[in-house]
Structure 1
Amino acid sequence: MRNLKRALVAVLVLLLAAIVLFFVLENQQEVSLGLFGWVSPAMPAAVPVLAALIVGLAIGPLLGSYAVMRTRRRIRLQAREAALAGK
Protein backbone atom coordinates (compact mmCIF):
# COMPACT_ATOMS: atom_id res chain seq x y z
CA MET A 1 0.00 0.00 0.00
CA ARG A 2 2.85 2.37 0.84
CA ASN A 3 4.45 1.77 -2.57
CA LEU A 4 1.14 2.53 -4.29
CA LYS A 5 0.90 5.86 -2.43
CA ARG A 6 4.47 6.72 -3.37
CA ALA A 7 3.79 5.86 -7.00
CA LEU A 8 0.65 8.00 -7.04
CA VAL A 9 2.50 10.92 -5.47
CA ALA A 10 5.30 10.54 -7.99
CA VAL A 11 2.82 10.50 -10.88
CA LEU A 12 1.04 13.59 -9.52
CA VAL A 13 4.33 15.46 -9.07
CA LEU A 14 5.41 14.57 -12.61
CA LEU A 15 2.02 15.65 -13.95
CA LEU A 16 2.25 18.97 -12.10
CA ALA A 17 5.80 19.51 -13.39
CA ALA A 18 4.63 18.80 -16.95
CA ILE A 19 1.75 21.27 -16.58
CA VAL A 20 4.08 23.97 -15.22
CA LEU A 21 6.58 23.34 -18.02
CA PHE A 22 3.81 23.53 -20.63
CA PHE A 23 2.53 26.77 -19.06
CA VAL A 24 5.99 28.36 -19.10
CA LEU A 25 6.64 27.35 -22.70
CA GLU A 26 3.26 28.66 -23.87
CA ASN A 27 3.54 32.03 -22.07
CA GLN A 28 6.73 33.56 -23.40
CA GLN A 29 5.25 36.91 -24.46
CA GLU A 30 6.65 39.91 -22.60
CA VAL A 31 4.45 41.74 -20.09
CA SER A 32 5.03 44.66 -17.75
CA LEU A 33 3.02 44.92 -14.54
CA GLY A 34 2.02 48.19 -12.89
CA LEU A 35 0.92 48.71 -9.30
CA PHE A 36 0.49 52.05 -7.47
CA GLY A 37 2.65 53.88 -10.00
CA TRP A 38 5.44 51.31 -9.89
CA VAL A 39 6.04 49.51 -13.19
CA SER A 40 8.01 46.30 -13.41
CA PRO A 41 10.46 45.62 -16.23
CA ALA A 42 9.19 43.54 -19.13
CA MET A 43 9.39 39.80 -18.47
CA PRO A 44 7.72 36.65 -19.75
CA ALA A 45 4.10 36.32 -18.56
CA ALA A 46 4.89 33.04 -16.82
CA VAL A 47 7.33 34.68 -14.37
CA PRO A 48 4.84 36.73 -12.30
CA VAL A 49 2.26 33.96 -12.41
CA LEU A 50 4.73 31.34 -11.16
CA ALA A 51 6.04 33.80 -8.54
CA ALA A 52 2.46 34.26 -7.26
CA LEU A 53 2.03 30.47 -7.21
CA ILE A 54 5.20 29.98 -5.17
CA VAL A 55 4.26 32.74 -2.71
CA GLY A 56 0.79 31.23 -2.33
CA LEU A 57 2.24 27.76 -1.78
CA ALA A 58 4.46 29.19 0.96
CA ILE A 59 1.83 31.33 2.72
CA GLY A 60 -1.03 28.81 2.58
CA PRO A 61 0.54 26.17 4.82
CA LEU A 62 1.76 28.85 7.24
CA LEU A 63 -1.77 30.18 7.69
CA GLY A 64 -3.11 26.65 7.99
CA SER A 65 -0.60 25.72 10.68
CA TYR A 66 -1.41 28.92 12.57
CA ALA A 67 -5.10 27.97 12.57
CA VAL A 68 -4.28 24.46 13.80
CA MET A 69 -2.09 25.84 16.60
CA ARG A 70 -4.88 28.22 17.69
CA THR A 71 -7.38 25.36 17.74
CA ARG A 72 -5.05 23.11 19.76
CA ARG A 73 -4.40 25.93 22.23
CA ARG A 74 -8.14 26.50 22.64
CA ILE A 75 -8.75 22.77 23.18
CA ARG A 76 -6.00 22.60 25.85
CA LEU A 77 -7.43 25.64 27.62
CA GLN A 78 -10.90 24.12 27.62
CA ALA A 79 -9.50 20.83 28.94
CA ARG A 80 -7.72 22.66 31.78
CA GLU A 81 -10.87 24.57 32.64
CA ALA A 82 -12.88 21.35 32.63
CA ALA A 83 -10.29 19.66 34.86
CA LEU A 84 -10.34 22.56 37.31
CA ALA A 85 -14.14 22.62 37.33
CA GLY A 86 -14.22 18.86 38.02
CA LYS A 87 -12.09 19.12 41.18
Structure 2
Amino acid sequence: MRNLKRTLVGLFVLLLAAVVLFFVLENQQAVSLVMFGWSAPAMPVAVPVLAALIIGLAVGPLLGAYGLMRGKRKVRASARQAALSSG
Protein backbone atom coordinates (compact mmCIF):
# COMPACT_ATOMS: atom_id res chain seq x y z
CA MET A 1 0.00 0.00 0.00
CA ARG A 2 2.86 2.37 0.83
CA ASN A 3 4.52 1.69 -2.53
CA LEU A 4 1.23 2.39 -4.32
CA LYS A 5 0.95 5.77 -2.59
CA ARG A 6 4.54 6.63 -3.48
CA THR A 7 3.94 5.62 -7.08
CA LEU A 8 0.77 7.70 -7.31
CA VAL A 9 2.47 10.72 -5.76
CA GLY A 10 5.40 10.29 -8.14
CA LEU A 11 3.07 10.09 -11.13
CA PHE A 12 1.18 13.18 -9.96
CA VAL A 13 4.42 15.14 -9.56
CA LEU A 14 5.61 14.04 -13.02
CA LEU A 15 2.25 15.01 -14.54
CA LEU A 16 2.33 18.38 -12.82
CA ALA A 17 5.89 18.99 -14.02
CA ALA A 18 4.86 18.06 -17.57
CA VAL A 19 1.91 20.46 -17.47
CA VAL A 20 4.11 23.30 -16.18
CA LEU A 21 6.74 22.56 -18.84
CA PHE A 22 4.07 22.51 -21.56
CA PHE A 23 2.66 25.81 -20.27
CA VAL A 24 6.08 27.46 -20.29
CA LEU A 25 6.91 26.22 -23.78
CA GLU A 26 3.55 27.35 -25.18
CA ASN A 27 3.68 30.85 -23.63
CA GLN A 28 6.91 32.39 -24.90
CA GLN A 29 5.35 35.68 -26.07
CA ALA A 30 7.01 38.70 -24.48
CA VAL A 31 4.85 40.92 -22.30
CA SER A 32 5.61 44.01 -20.25
CA LEU A 33 3.49 44.51 -17.15
CA VAL A 34 2.64 48.02 -15.90
CA MET A 35 1.45 48.67 -12.35
CA PHE A 36 1.10 52.09 -10.68
CA GLY A 37 3.25 53.66 -13.38
CA TRP A 38 6.09 51.17 -12.90
CA SER A 39 6.86 49.13 -16.00
CA ALA A 40 8.49 45.71 -15.72
CA PRO A 41 10.93 44.62 -18.42
CA ALA A 42 9.55 42.47 -21.22
CA MET A 43 9.58 38.78 -20.34
CA PRO A 44 7.75 35.64 -21.46
CA VAL A 45 4.15 35.59 -20.23
CA ALA A 46 4.81 32.31 -18.40
CA VAL A 47 7.23 34.03 -15.98
CA PRO A 48 4.75 36.38 -14.25
CA VAL A 49 2.03 33.72 -14.28
CA LEU A 50 4.30 31.13 -12.61
CA ALA A 51 5.60 33.80 -10.20
CA ALA A 52 2.01 34.59 -9.18
CA LEU A 53 1.34 30.85 -8.72
CA ILE A 54 4.40 30.38 -6.51
CA ILE A 55 3.59 33.47 -4.43
CA GLY A 56 0.01 32.23 -4.03
CA LEU A 57 1.20 28.79 -2.98
CA ALA A 58 3.39 30.43 -0.33
CA VAL A 59 0.89 33.01 0.95
CA GLY A 60 -2.16 30.72 1.05
CA PRO A 61 -0.88 28.32 3.72
CA LEU A 62 0.50 31.22 5.78
CA LEU A 63 -2.92 32.89 5.84
CA GLY A 64 -4.54 29.57 6.68
CA ALA A 65 -2.17 29.03 9.60
CA TYR A 66 -2.84 32.57 10.81
CA GLY A 67 -6.59 31.93 10.69
CA LEU A 68 -6.21 28.71 12.67
CA MET A 69 -4.10 30.41 15.35
CA ARG A 70 -6.59 33.27 15.55
CA GLY A 71 -9.49 30.83 15.91
CA LYS A 72 -7.72 28.92 18.67
CA ARG A 73 -7.04 32.18 20.50
CA LYS A 74 -10.74 33.11 20.30
CA VAL A 75 -11.77 29.70 21.65
CA ARG A 76 -9.32 30.01 24.56
CA ALA A 77 -10.51 33.56 25.32
CA SER A 78 -14.18 32.54 25.30
CA ALA A 79 -13.42 29.50 27.50
CA ARG A 80 -11.53 31.74 29.92
CA GLN A 81 -14.44 34.24 29.92
CA ALA A 82 -16.95 31.43 30.57
CA ALA A 83 -14.83 30.13 33.45
CA LEU A 84 -14.60 33.59 34.99
CA SER A 85 -18.32 34.30 34.69
CA SER A 86 -19.40 30.95 36.14
CA GLY A 87 -16.94 31.10 39.04
Deviations 1:40-71 (A, max 9, x none): 11111100000111111111111110000011
Moved more, 51-60 or 12-21: 12-21
CA distance in 2, matches of 1:67, 1:38: 33
Q: CA RMSD in A?
A: 1.7
Give the TM-score taking structure 2 as reference length: 0.84
Alignment length (residue pairs): 87
5+ long unaligned stretches in structure 1: none
1:21 and 2:21 aligned? yes
Please name the residue that 1:78 is paired with.
Answer: 78
Please name the residue that 2:61 is paired with.
Answer: 61
Give the TM-score taking structure 1 as reference length: 0.84
Q: Which runs of 4+ in 1 moved over 6 A?
A: none
Give the share of equivalent positions with the same residue, in percent.
70
Question: Quick one: structure 1 residues 3 and 73, their matched pair in 2 at CA, closer, same or farther if it must change by over 3 Å?
Answer: farther
5+ long unaligned stretches in structure 2: none
